[in-house]
């Protein structure tokens, strides 16, 4: 096989946007990026794959594989070239045939990941079979066909696993690797006899040949390449079945399959639920879910063979925390939702990725709400909305529907915009249209586009048809436009004046204009108003007794009831005061309490209101005891704490104390020890508050955490440190570790080395770098580079870096950049390195220094993360500047502290 220049006969097209030919010596065969020189997509209007017959032989010891493909291809326009995707594969040129035609050239363009097969004559119109043999390596990068390591009976073993989304099927076999090229897949695997070999479809036959077996699988229905999957290794499983009789299995490492029972139960129930919700049966004959020890993302929805990192699938009553449990349930529900939304109906192109991810995220809450009503899952959904709103307030955000001009840009859009904003605008639309109408329309959409592809507008069209509402006009303002509005609300007599402006955290206003579903209520939730704000301004007439002016605790007006809308509200002083009173008087719903504190925090960051007023508002939450609300209050407290050292060193201790006081009474009520029969959310709350108090430096909590840790060290089974409070204790230990007294750090490392449990390992890793001692932070970062830490787990260490360690972490990143980039090439992982080091800074100078370092080094995989992090630094710098000039901050902090005593 040659690599080199494009064959002269290839006509190059601009992709997707317009099929514009730049030179047409022969009929159209391939499309290229902007310049016409780079040929990066195999999209063509002449050729379509129909069916892949793939045979793969992984060699686990040698970390290599060989394979052969026979692809039935429909040729609809005369052409002499087949243009498909391949990367890091060696295609044996002499093996390539199209029917009995021998190609005149077989050229791989490594950089563009394109394989061109040229013939001396036109290929016959109609269906023909393209055959070829190829080899590749089982890489270490958690993408394509890769190896993952595990221990079995004290020995290190390799397993072979695939991860193809977004564009890595081409690293396993040559293919038309874009979501709209749906085809049927028939796989055959040749593997060692003793191993479990799984693929999307059930095995039909196994033949034994000496130490190897050949496993044949059923042919799949039409599906996209990124959903093809293979897993080969040693596993145990647990099995269940849906009401319809679909067999569901959870595979885990030998000896761990019992930890799959919880996920199995969630999976079986979710499949039944989705079948009803989408009014379409689960499309495949079986579903397998597998825990993979090395896994880049959290989980992957491969059709019929869903893969997970261990922490996202395995749950153990004794070893896992309540929050681990929730994570497993949400992840399973998310991936199974994809079996319909994503796998059966697939986005047409990556621009519409949010149709996959936003919907799966939203639907997962629906399922988990039904399975675990006591978790108050829809209130917890506001975590998603919050992350979406926080990211989308950056100028460096992007619209939900985003142009993708190169395969290398795809991975970076698996972000909070596609997931969290996507899911939130769906909730907004559902709440506008009504749950029942919405569900019916979704079911029609699934039916209409089953086994095929859809664009965002296709969904809007179905929803419009079914409901008669102007869905497209409404939703286009949210999906094609980046950002979201803040609604300024002012009361003028009985008129409530509303004005929208694009909200940006840097304090400026963008040009955006949205059609905003406004909801409001006044004094009670009984009478609610609902309308679409279409222009810049509008007003609502407030009737009833409860508008502003009067002094009763019923004088409150809340917009965006239960935060169903993806926007913020800035109330005038009078309305804000009314809401503060209503919070104290416990008149508001949990969701509204969350919305108010979140909006107020973001408005402070954007300098639309003072930190002083935010602290006063926080004081209204002092008696709060609900997990869902306190999780937001806590996150706001920690946000304030992070900048207060830089903003007002002289007040910083007092502010810390104030924040501690806010959380302390709820924390004291719960204590450290679990109580019989307490609710899931109280267990979550205990963990949340103890961690926050440790982070805020509350001495008593830190001492108690350290005390319990020492007992735990002697007796790992002690009831004094169950999984839910362990992280708080580990953090407490690390807050007291110094270079000279490092016994706690060493003890944590010992725990890390002794446990085989991924969730426990993640708890330790997330604590190691949280030490105030810079030398220890450095040690933790270097430990992360050793073989003892899986590459997939680096982000735990990064996420824990202490404020005191930010400078050392940045220096470390600069020194190790080349190695880091090579070891963690995937977008989400490399972006974690950039975000966690850069966004902790708060000065313009530092932002300039970071930009200078990265000048000439950026890549699509982390470019957006870098820009966003730099923007955050600059936003913090300005916020700090303005906090310094708040005239009454010191006095207010003092007063609030006094009030406490």
Binding site residue list for Zn(2+): 334, 338, 357
Edge-to-edge strand list for the sheet holding 184-192? 89-98, 126-137, 64-75, 47-59, 184-192, 212-217, 203-209
Q: Is 724 in the site for Zn ion (CB under 5 A)?
A: no
Nearer to ligand BES, 44 or 416 (CB): 416
Measure Cα distances from 227 to 135, 604, 692, 766, 815 in Å.
21, 44, 40, 32, 38
**Is residue 107 helix, strand or coil?**
strand
Work out how close the CB of 297 gets to ligand BES at its nearest, in angstroms, rounded to a whole number: 3
State which of positions 332-391 bind Zn ion (CB under 5 A): 357, 360
Contacts (Cβ under 8 Å, ≥6 apart) of 537:
497, 498, 499, 500
Interface mask (CB under 5 A) for Zn ion, residues 492-521, using x and -? ------------------------------
Pairing of strands 155-163, 144-152: antiparallel
Work out how close the CB of 496 gets to ligand BES at its nearest, in angstroms, rounded to a whole number: 37
What tokens does 284 get?
């495949």
Alpha carbons 336 and 267: distance in angstroms, whole number: 7
Pairing of strands 126-137, 305-309: unpaired
Work out how close the CB of 144 gets to Zn ion at its nearest, in angstroms, rounded to a whole number: 19
Cis peptide before 166 (omega within 30 of 0): yes
Work out how close the CB of 619 gets to ligand BES at its nearest, in angstroms, rounded to a whole number: 35
**207 has catalytic annotation:** no
Q: Is 165 in the site for Zn ion (CB under 5 A)?
A: no
Measure Cα distances from 700 to 66, 659, 668, 729 in Å.
61, 15, 11, 12
Q: Which residue is nearest to ligand BES (CB)?
A: 298
Nearer to ligand BES, 299 or 797 (CB): 299
* Residue 65 β-bridge partners: 58, 136
Q: Is 420 in the site for Zn ion (CB under 5 A)?
A: no
Instruction: Report the partner that residue 165 touches, choosing among Zn ion, ligand BES, none (CB closer than 5 to 8 A by kind).
Output: ligand BES
Alpha carbons 290 and 308: distance in angstroms, whole number: 6
Nearer to ligand BES, 269 or 338 (CB): 338
Pairing of strands 196-199, 114-118: unpaired
Work out how close the CB of 363 gets to Zn ion at its nearest, in angstroms, rounded to a whole number: 10
**Is residue 879 helix, strand or coil?**
helix
Give the CB-side neighbour count of residue 847, counting CA atoms within 13 A.
16
Cβ atoms of residues 647 and 883 within 8 Å: yes
Q: How many residues does this entry show for the chain? A: 901
Cα 496–chain centre separation:
38
Instruction: Report the partner that residue 299 touches, choosing among ligand BES, Zn ion, none (CB closer than 5 to 8 A by kind).
Output: ligand BES
Where along the sequence are the contacts to ligand BES (CB under 6 A)?
165-166, 297-301, 330-331, 334-335, 338, 357, 360-361, 411, 414
Nearer to ligand BES, 85 or 644 (CB): 85
Cβ atoms of residues 545 and 523 within 8 Å: yes
Nearer to Zn ion, 146 or 341 (CB): 341
Work out how close the CB of 414 gets to ligand BES at its nearest, in angstroms, rounded to a whole number: 4
Cβ atoms of residues 253 and 150 within 8 Å: yes
Alpha carbons 802 and 818: distance in angstroms, whole number: 24
Nearer to Zn ion, 360 or 443 (CB): 360
Work out how close the CB of 226 gets to ligand BES at its nearest, in angstroms, rounded to a whole number: 8
Alpha carbons 853 and 382: distance in angstroms, whole number: 37
Q: Which residue numbers belong to the known binding site?
A: 334, 338, 357
State which of positions 211-230 bind Zn ion (CB under 5 A): none
Catalytic residue among 190, 335, 704, 760: 335
Measure Cα distances from 531 to 238, 486, 520, 591 in Å.
51, 16, 9, 20
Query: What are the two backbone dihedrals, phi and then psi, of residue 349, each rounded to the nearest 5 degrees?
Result: -155, 165
Instruction: Report the partner that residue 709 touches, choosing among Zn ion, ligand BES, none (CB closer than 5 to 8 A by kind).
Output: none
Nearer to Zn ion, 183 or 360 (CB): 360
| Matching residue, tokens 């959310």 | 681
Alpha carbons 270 and 14: distance in angstroms, whole number: 42
Work out how close the CB of 578 gets to Zn ion at its nearest, in angstroms, rounded to a whole number: 41
Nearer to ligand BES, 300 or 569 (CB): 300
Contacts to Zn ion by CB under 5 A: 357, 360
Q: Which residues are catalytic?
A: 335
């Amino acid at each position: 096989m040659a690599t080199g220049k494009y064959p002269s006969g290839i006509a190059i097209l601009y992709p997707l946007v317009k099929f514009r030919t730049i030179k047409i010596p022969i009929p159209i065969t391939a499309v290229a990026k902007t310049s016409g020189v780079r040929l990066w997509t195999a999209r063509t209007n002449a050729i379509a794959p129909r069916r892949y017959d793939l045979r793969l032989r992984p060699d686990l010891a040698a970390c290599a594989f060989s394979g052969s493909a026979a692809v039935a291809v429909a040729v609809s326009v005369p052409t002499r070239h087949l243009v498909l995707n391949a990367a890091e594969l060696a295609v044996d040129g002499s093996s390539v045939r199209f029917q009995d035609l021998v190609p005149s050239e077989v050229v791989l363009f490594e950089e563009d990941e394109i394989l061109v097969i040229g013939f001396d004559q036109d290929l016959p119109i109609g269906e023909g079979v393209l055959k070829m043999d190829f080899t590749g390596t089982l890489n270490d990068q958690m993408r394509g066909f890769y190896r993952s390591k595990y221990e079995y009976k004290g020995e290190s073993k390799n397993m072979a696993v695939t991860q193809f989304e977004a564009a890595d099927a081409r690293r396993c076999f040559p293919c038309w690797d874009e979501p709209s090229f749906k085809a049927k897949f028939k796989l055959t695997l040749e593997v060692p006899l003793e191993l479990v070999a799984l693929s999307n479809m059930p095995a039909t036959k196994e033949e034994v040949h000496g130490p190897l077996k050949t496993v044949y699988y059923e042919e799949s229905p039409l599906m996209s390449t990124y959903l093809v999957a293979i897993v080969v290794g040693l596993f145990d499983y647990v099995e269940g079945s849906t009401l319809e009789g679909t067999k569901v299995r959870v595979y885990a490492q030998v000896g761990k399959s019992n930890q799959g029972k919880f996920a199995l139960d969630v999976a079986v129930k979710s499949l039944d639920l989705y079948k009803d919700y989408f009014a379409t049966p689960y499309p495949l004959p079986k579903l397998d879910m597998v825990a993979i020890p090395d896994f880049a993302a959290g989980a992957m929805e491969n059709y019929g063979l869903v893969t997970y990192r261990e922490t996202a699938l395995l749950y153990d009553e004794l070893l896992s925390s309540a929050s681990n449990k929730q994570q497993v349930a949400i992840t399973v529900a998310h991936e199974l939702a994809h079996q319909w939304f994503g796998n059966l109906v697939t986005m047409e192109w990556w621009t519409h990725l949010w149709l996959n991810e936003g919907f799966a995220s939203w639907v997962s809450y629906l399922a988990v709400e039904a399975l675990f009503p006591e978790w108050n899952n829809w209130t917890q959904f506001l975590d998603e909305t919050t992350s979406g709103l926080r990211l989308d307030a950056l100028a460096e955000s992007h619209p939900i529907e985003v142009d993708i001009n190169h395969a290398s840009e795809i991975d970076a859009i698996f972000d909070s915009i596609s997931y969290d904003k996507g899911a939130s605008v769906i909730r907004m639309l559902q709440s506008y249209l009504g749950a029942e109408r919405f569900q019916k329309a979704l079911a029609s959409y699934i039916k209409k586009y089953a086994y095929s592809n859809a664009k965002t507008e296709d969904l809007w069209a179905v929803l419009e048809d079914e409901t008669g509402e102007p869905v497209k006009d409404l939703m286009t303002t949210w999906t094609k436009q980046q950002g979201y509005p803040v609604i300024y609300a002012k009361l003028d007599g009985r008129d409530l004046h509303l004005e929208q402006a694009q909200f940006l955290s840097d304090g400026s206003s963008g040009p955006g204009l949205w059609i905003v579903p406004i909801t409001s209520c006044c004094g009670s939730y009984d009478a609610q108003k609902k309308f679409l704000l279409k222009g810049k301004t509008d007003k609502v007439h407030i009737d009833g007794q409860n508008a502003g002016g009067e002094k009763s605790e019923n004088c409150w007006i809340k917009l965006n009831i239960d935060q169903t809308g993806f926007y913020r509200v800035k109330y005038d002083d009078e309305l804000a005061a009314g809401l503060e009173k209503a919070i104290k008087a416990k008149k508001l719903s949990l969701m509204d309490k969350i919305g108010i504190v979140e909006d107020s925090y973001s408005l402070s960051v954007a300098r639309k209101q003072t930190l002083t007023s935010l602290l006063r508002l926080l004081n209204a939450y002092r008696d709060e005891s609900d997990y869902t609300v306190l999780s937001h209050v806590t996150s706001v407290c920690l946000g304030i704490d992070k900048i207060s050292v830089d903003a007002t060193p002289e007040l910083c201790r007092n502010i810390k104390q104030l924040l501690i006081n806010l959380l302390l009474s709820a924390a004291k009520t719960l204590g450290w020890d679990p109580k019989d029969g307490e609710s899931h959310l109280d267990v979550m709350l205990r963990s949340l508050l103890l961690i926050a108090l440790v982070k805020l430096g509350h001495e008593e909590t830190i001492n108690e955490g350290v005390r319990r840790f020492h007992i735990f060290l002697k007796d790992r089974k002690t009831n004094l440190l169950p999984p839910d409070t362990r992280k708080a204790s580990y953090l407490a230990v690390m807050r007291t570790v110094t270079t000279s007294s490092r016994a706690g750090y060493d003890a944590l490392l010992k725990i890390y080395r002794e446990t085989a449990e991924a969730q426990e390992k993640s708890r330790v890793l997330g604590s190691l770098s949280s030490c105030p001692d810079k030398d220890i932070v450095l040690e933790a970062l270097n430990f992360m580079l050793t073989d003892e830490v899986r590459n997939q787990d680096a982000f735990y260490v990064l996420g824990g870096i202490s404020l005191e360690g930010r400078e050392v972490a940045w220096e470390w990143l600069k020194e190790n950049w080349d190695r880091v980039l090579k070891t963690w090439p995937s977008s989400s992982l490399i972006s974690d390195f950039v975000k966690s080091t850069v966004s902790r800074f708060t000065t313009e100078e530092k932002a300039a220094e970071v930009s200078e370092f990265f000048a000439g080094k950026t890549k699509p995989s982390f470019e957006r993360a870098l820009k966003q992090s730099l923007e955050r630094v600059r936003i913090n710098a300005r916020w700090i500047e303005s906090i310094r000039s708040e005239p009454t901050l010191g006095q207010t902090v003092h007063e609030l502290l006094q009030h406490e005593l």
